[in-house]
């Protein structure tokens, strides 16, 4: 039987529609079925579960005997690692810390590494002098706008950066960071 | 004129380039775990800051958009097909008149910042994306992890959150039997390649999307450099294959002009057939064989033979069968323009 839509190809998809008790049947070729959007129901694979399976394979090999994640749930969003396996998606930022053990090996499999080396959030970039463009006006604006909460977080980050810079003997960077902390404490 | 109707650098092979950054707002769960109120919070926050970013961005709620308009954005590759179909509340796009900036709100992540250009121009595009990204970050602090970088719902995007993709038109590699070799090489280099239309190895229209897989443990500059290098290689190989085809000029001329002949004279053309004919016609135009056409017309033909953009152009809703005749009308219109 030929496709009832294009009349050219052999029909290999039967589409039945029942609206208000009226039954309508169409025989379509796969091409037309795809175009009319009736083929989606026939596809058993859904992408997120496929991704989940993929992660599951990695997760098994990464399970250390001492590390049980069965009952661990993310405190912030309530997601368990199994939920992640099912969907391939994390629930919130804190999931990355909650499941950092299995995530590390998962990320290594996906990206070859588990450590970010690209751009940071802006204030960190400025500190390290990565962005040499003058952003002083931006910076002050940023500080005045941000809440106290954010300032405290920033100071803490700065202190960490300072310690790191000193440890790594990057004294030029350290000086910049020190000045920045001074400025913020004014 | 919008970018997708123009030619850019290396446009004989590279149709367009996209740079995309995946971002989430600090303190709000990712969309798969966010409550309705939290999705609204993302929506409201982004809506609030959009005017202050500049670029004449307009914030448009997806729920206010009819399905043809949404599909027309998919056809221009401005939004993902899944996003056009989503039933999620509080989804939106922020888009400018040139349509070279399109921010998806509450797609897979809170913010998917995308910038586009015709042809191959990764470095400028990346700079633009970072410029906008920094402006947004000033107003909406991002979810960022010292070790993992920018956090995303899917671990395939974490780190830089950066995906760069180029659309390449490589009919000569296909015609000379070198396509699979090329696709294998791309895969082996750790890049992702897929046919843009249709399934299987041979993509309809000979258009393939090449993009980076790795987003973590690599800098933005490296990703850009790698993709640039790879694109350049694909361009070189495709041009070489075209040169080879040009040796038998009568055969090639015959082939592209036959496609042009059908395209110009048929009375009914389906979407897929149009894609295939246009692939040959674009090749013929790029090689200077088809004198009747220019690059702009080819771009218009590629866009307005797609169902949703065709219906938008004609201003009417058409069944798939009626579209086949209307498609020929649209083609005629474009060919007759001066």
pLDDT in tens, B115-151: 999 999 999 999 999 999 999 999 999 999 999 999 9
Number of neighbours of residue B178 by Cβ within 10 angstroms: 17
Lowest mean pLDDT among A30-44, A45-59, A79-93, B293-307: A45-59
Predicted ipTM?
A: 0.85
| E strands present in chain B | 14-23, 58-61, 92-95, 101-105, 111-118, 144-145, 149-150, 162-169, 191-195, 207-212
- Sequential pLDDT tens for chain B (338 residues): 899 999 999 999 999 999 999 999 999 999 999 999 999 999 999 999 999 999 999 999 999 999 999 999 999 999 999 999 999 999 999 999 999 999 999 999 999 999 999 999 999 999 999 999 999 999 999 999 999 999 999 999 999 999 999 999 999 999 999 998 998 889 888 899 988 764 444 577 999 999 999 999 999 999 999 999 999 999 999 999 999 999 999 999 999 999 999 999 999 999 999 999 999 999 999 999 999 999 999 999 999 999 999 999 999 999 999 999 999 999 999 999 87
Sign, CA torsion A99/A100/A106/A110? positive
Q: Nearest 10 degrees: CA dihedral of A50, A51, A53, A59?
A: 180
Q: What is the pLDDT of residue B40?
A: 97
Q: What is the pLDDT of residue B194?
A: 85
Q: What is the pLDDT of residue B49?
A: 97
C-beta atoms of B155 and A90 within 8 A: yes
**For residue A39, is pLDDT > 80?**
no
- How large is the angle between the packed helices B271-286 and B320-336, nearest 10 degrees? 20
The alpha-helical segments, DSSP class H, found in B140-219 are 171-175, 179-188
pLDDT in tens, B218-277: 999 999 999 999 999 999 999 999 999 999 999 999 999 999 999 999 999 999 999 999
Number of neighbours of residue B146 by Cβ within 10 angstroms: 13
**What does residue B60 show for φ and ψ, rounded to 5 degrees?**
-125, 125
Cβ atoms of B98 and B51 closer than 8 Å:
no
Length of chain A: 186
Contacts with A117 from chain B: Cβ below 8 Å? 217-219
Sign, CA torsion A88/A93/A96/A97? negative
Cβ atoms of B212 and B223 closer than 8 Å:
yes
Interface of B with A (CB under 8 A): 24, 26, 28-30, 32-33, 108, 130, 134, 137-138, 141-145, 147-151, 153-156, 158-160, 162, 213-220, 270-272, 320-321
For residue B298 the two structure tokens come to 């080819």
What span, in angstroms and rounded, lies between the C-alpha atoms of A99 and A104? 9
What span, in angstroms and rounded, lies between the C-alpha atoms of B72 and B310? 9
For residue A57 the two structure tokens come to 């394979």
What span, in angstroms and rounded, lies between the C-alpha atoms of A82 and A99? 11
C-beta atoms of B217 and A114 within 8 A: yes
Residue A72 distance to chain B (closest CA, Å): 17
Number of H helices, E strands in chain A: 9, 2
Q: What is the pLDDT of residue A57?
A: 54
pLDDT in tens, A68-101: 455 688 989 998 888 888 888 999 999 999 988 8
Q: A94 to chain B: nearest residue by CA? A: B29
The pLDDT confidence band at residue A127, using thresholds 50, 70 and 90, is very low
Number of neighbours of residue B324 by Cβ within 10 angstroms: 19
Interface with B, mutate which of A46, A55, A118 (most B CBs under 10 A): A118
Average pLDDT, chain A: 71
Cβ atoms of A30 and A37 closer than 8 Å:
no
C-beta atoms of B155 and A78 within 8 A: no
Spatial CB neighbours of B176, under 8 Å, sequence gap ≥ 6: B241, B244, B245
**For residue A149, is pLDDT > 90?**
no
In DSSP terms, A2 is beta-bridged to A10
Question: Beta strands B101-105 and B58-61: pairing type?
Answer: unpaired
Contacts with A91 from chain B: Cβ below 8 Å? 29-30, 32-33
- How large is the angle between the packed helices B271-286 and B295-304, nearest 10 degrees? 170
C-beta atoms of A107 and B148 within 8 A: yes
What span, in angstroms and rounded, lies between the C-alpha atoms of B215 and A175? 32
Closest CA to B252 of B261, B262, B242, B267: B242
**For residue A13, is pLDDT > 80?**
no
């Amino acid at each position: 039987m030929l496709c009832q839509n294009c009349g050219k190809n052999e029909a290999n998809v039967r589409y039945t529609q029942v609206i208000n008790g009226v039954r309508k049947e169409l025989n379509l070729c796969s091409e037309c079925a795809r175009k009319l959007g009736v083929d989606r129901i026939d596809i058993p694979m859904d992408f997120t579960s496929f991704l989940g399976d993929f992660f599951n394979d990695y997760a098994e090999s990464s399970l250390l005997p001492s590390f049980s994640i069965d009952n661990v749930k993310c405190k912030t969003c309530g997601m368990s690692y199994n939920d992640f396996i099912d969907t391939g998606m994390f629930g919130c930022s804190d999931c990355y810390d909650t499941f950092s053990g299995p995530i590390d090996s998962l990320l290594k499999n996906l990206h070859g590494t588990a450590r970010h080396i690209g751009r940071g959030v802006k204030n960190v970039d400025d500190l390290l002098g990565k962005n040499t463009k003058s952003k002083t006006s931006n910076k002050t604006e940023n500080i005045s706008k941000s809440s106290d909460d954010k300032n405290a977080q920033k100071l803490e980050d700065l202190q960490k950066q300072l310690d790191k810079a000193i440890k790594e003997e990057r004294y030029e960077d350290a000086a910049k960071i020190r000045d920045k902390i001074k400025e913020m404490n004014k | 004129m919008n970018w997708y109707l123009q030619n850019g650098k290396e446009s004989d092979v590279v149709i367009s380039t996209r740079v995309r950054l995946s971002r989430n707002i600090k303190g709000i769960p990712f969309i798969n775990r966010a409550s309705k109120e939290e999705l609204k919070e993302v929506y409201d926050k982004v809506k609030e800051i959009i005017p202050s970013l500049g670029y004449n961005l307009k914030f448009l709620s997806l729920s206010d958009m009819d399905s043809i308009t949404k599909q027309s954005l998919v056809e221009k590759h401005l939004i993902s097909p899944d996003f056009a179909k989503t039933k999620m509340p509080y989804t939106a796009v922020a888009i400018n008149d040139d349509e070279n900036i399109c921010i998806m709100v509450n797609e897979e992540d809170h913010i998917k910042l995308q910038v586009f250009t015709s042809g191959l121009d990764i470095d400028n595009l990346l700079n633009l994306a970072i410029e906008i990204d920094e402006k947004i970050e000033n107003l909406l602090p991002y979810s960022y992890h010292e070790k993992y970088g920018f956090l995303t719902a899917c671990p395939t995007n974490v780190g830089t959150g950066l995906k760069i993709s180029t659309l390449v038109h490589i009919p000569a590699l296909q015609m000379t039997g070198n396509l699979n070799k090329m696709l294998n090489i791309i895969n082996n280099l750790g890049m992702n390649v897929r046919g843009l239309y249709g399934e299987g190895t041979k993509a309809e229209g000979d258009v393939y999307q090449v993009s980076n897989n790795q987003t973590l443990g690599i800098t933005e500059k490296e990703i850009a450099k790698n993709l640039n290098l790879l694109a350049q290689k694909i361009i070189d190989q495709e041009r070489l294959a075209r040169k080879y085809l040009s040796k038998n000029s009568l055969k090639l001329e015959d082939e592209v002009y036959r496609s042009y002949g059908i395209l110009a004279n048929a009375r009914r053309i389906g979407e897929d057939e149009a894609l295939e004919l246009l692939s040959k016609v674009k090749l013929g135009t790029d090689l200077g064989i088809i004198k009747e056409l220019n690059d702009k017309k080819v771009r218009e033909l590629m866009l307005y033979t797609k169902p949703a953009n065709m219906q938008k152009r004609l201003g009417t809703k058409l069944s798939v069968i009626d579209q086949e005749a209307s498609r020929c009308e649209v083609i005629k219109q474009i060919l007759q323009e001066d």
